[in-house]
Amino acid sequence: MKKIYLLCSQGMSTSMLASMMQECANRHQLPIEIVAYPHGKLPSVIEKQSLPDAILLGPQVKYLLEETRQRFKDLKIPIMMISQEDYGMLNSDKVLKQALLAMKENKEKKDEGIDDI
């Protein structure tokens, strides 16, 4: 099962979007678990649970994007921003599609042996 983690300051504002994304994944029978967490809890979540296949940051923590990419670069997974527009409109289908596309592209890079992920 694939895992997508959504991060924000407290994990509360992304929880609604994560829930809606999970409903979309379930409707399409995709084996994906989508969960929201506070950004500061990510290291302990990764340590206690399985590694995510993608990390998406809410727009309110945009300033943490590069720090997050550097801190977790060894995971070699997509770490990306959720657009302000999609976040504000709770466009769960679009955000899920973007995450799935990023995961697919990441897998293709790994399969091709490209280290610059």
Q: How far apart are the first and last CA of the chain?
A: 22
Report the alpha-carbon distance of residue 101 to residue 60 in Å, rounded. Answer: 23
* Closest residue by Cα to residue 69 from 102, 98, 101: 102
CB contact set of 49 (below 8 Å; sequence gap of 6+): 3
Q: Annotated active-site positions, please?
A: 8
